[in-house]
Structure 1
């Protein structure tokens, strides 16, 4: 019979064990439970779905079991199991998560479990405001490696979490929902996807850049699935900056056909170039408007 694992070895095995296996193994041993509480819980993906469920990889907590059409005895058994899992997760001082996804939850109070998460990436989808869920993200998570906000309501993104995240993607699920504060972001890179009418005020962004300056290399990519939406934004830019239209000779890009391009001076050493391009993939076509700060020598 092989000798039992030493404490350091057991600690290492438990820490990197699949979360579902770890929970089921340690729940059967009081000795392992004492060790387990001292070891970080590591999860690849944590998904919060509405006010009904929280899944940590393959381990799922459901708050909807009371809606099942089952007898009282069976319901009680499920309740006991769920409460045990809830206690196990909520008593963790923190849970290390690579990716946190929060979907269709309006307020923090609706989240079925109150957890403390140390996260690398955060994605909120059709939530009222990403700020509502920051109480569950430990301060050690910041700056985030990636932040993706898919919005159906108008929000203000002028926030330190957005300013400091390494990679930020803003995305829209409805038209005429303006994301405010984009022009105030001091980011070098930003991607805004699925833009529809009324989502982004590009004129305001450019005016702020001209007034307050931006670092050379700053680049915002505004992405559209409809040619009509990008053409509407280009018309707005043309109406405001028509005197700065420029063919952008020397820029090695396949420009969007018959679309205006711009070169707008910022200061003696830098300028803003604006142009549209079309990106083809197997599944669809994306129309991209590029806002970029470059040296006046380019």
Structure 2
């Protein structure tokens, strides 16, 4: 017979247990059917005694309008006085909302029920594209790695994000106005991904300190990568800066770029699966490499020339030695 888990084992299991399976939202007996859920903590006294001091880890948390999304699970406040629960297999069921609760109050009870116990709440990715809903409790604090949002609502959500999370490791944004491009949350992000934007977004972001930026297909113009490279040629750019542009299926942007920069040398990299690299010198010790990766992104990066020269210097004696043999 297997031995019972000790405290370290229980702590590890609870910390990474799906929050939808970890807590029991007791709004009323008709509110949730116990047969649809596995209520571990509610059925184990030994777990309840340590539950509140163990951090809660969530892969993805979405808070939008009348919807609460925990990656593979979704809870909606429907217009027919019902709450809809949907799992990752698109199976769902509905329960009548208690008559004494308003929609916002019902969602708040659910949110508190799922997230209240952990002394710390770790969220790998927080998602929001609407104003902060009324059901979000003011004392909720999340520790996040990645933020995916409509940036116009960033100020509303900052109070629920632990300040130690900044600068963010990854920020995915939809942005509609130039005003927000100077926001410190955006300019300090280690990796910035622009999902939706407006004409001129790459030019403005180029003035920021972001070193790793990705632009999705419909948030930049065909000529923007060329304008960016010409700017780096004229004004220089820090080594390690990498901008990516998602190309169309017909490689239209890449073809346009190669035509406009055809005066520069193109070399094939036999050690890589990417397209031939276009090399554009910008400084005595740096150059721009332009290539296309396996995910249809045009990669524009600033690399040191010294690395290339050192590699060549190392390889030449070997090749000459082989020739003599």
How many Å apart are 1:51 and its aligned residue?
Answer: 0.6
Answer yes or no: is the 8 Å Cα contact 1:158–1:181 preserved in 2. no
How many Å apart are 1:46 and its aligned residue?
Answer: 1.3
Aligned to 2:30: none
How many residue pairs end up in the alignment?
269
Aligned to 2:18: 18
Find the aligned partners of 1:145 and 1:34 in 2 and give their Cα distance. 34
Aligned to 1:248: 265
Aligned to 2:80: 68
Aligned to 1:270: 286
How many Å apart are 1:192 and its aligned residue?
Answer: 1.5
Offset from partner CA, 1:57-115 (integer Å, 9 cap, x none): 456554x24x2157xx943169486554333356455411222222x31x3x3364243
Within the candidate set 223, 240, 243, 1:220 is matched to: 243
Cα 1:133–1:232 change in 2 (3 A) is farther
Answer yes or no: is the 8 Å Cα contact 1:215–1:293 preserved in 2. yes
Cα 1:170–1:6 change in 2 (3 A) is same
Answer yes or no: is the 8 Å Cα contact 1:179–1:200 preserved in 2. no
Paired residue secondary structure (1:14): helix
Find the aligned partners of 1:276 and 1:58 in 2 and give their Cα distance. 36
How many Å apart are 1:23 and its aligned residue?
Answer: 0.3
Aligned to 1:241: none
Aligned to 1:191: 214
How many Å apart are 1:233 and its aligned residue?
Answer: 7.0
Within the candidate set 75, 95, 105, 2:121 is matched to: 95
Offset from partner CA, 1:1-33 (integer Å, 9 cap, x none): 998765555444432333122102445688855
- Answering whether residue 79 of structure 2 is matched by residue 53 of structure 1, we say no
Answer yes or no: is the 8 Å Cα contact 1:196–1:229 preserved in 2. no
Find the aligned partners of 2:201 and 2:249 in 1 and give their Cα distance. 18
How many Å apart are 1:170 and its aligned residue?
Answer: 1.9
Cα 1:163–1:228 change in 2 (3 A) is same
Paired residue secondary structure (1:246): coil
Find the aligned partners of 1:120 and 1:53 in 2 and give their Cα distance. 22
Larger radius of gyration: 2
**Unaligned regions of 5+ residues in structure 1, if any?**
239-243
Answer yes or no: is the 8 Å Cα contact 1:194–1:225 preserved in 2. yes
Find the aligned partners of 1:268 and 1:3 in 2 and give their Cα distance. 67
Cα 1:77–1:36 change in 2 (3 A) is farther
How many Å apart are 1:118 and its aligned residue?
Answer: 1.1
Output the aligned Cα RMSD: 4.4
Aligned to 2:318: none
Cα 1:231–1:38 change in 2 (3 A) is closer
TM-score by length of 1: 0.66
Cα 1:128–1:143 change in 2 (3 A) is closer
Paired residue secondary structure (1:85): helix
Cα 1:204–1:145 change in 2 (3 A) is same
Find the aligned partners of 1:97 and 1:170 in 2 and give their Cα distance. 21
Aligned to 2:152: 128
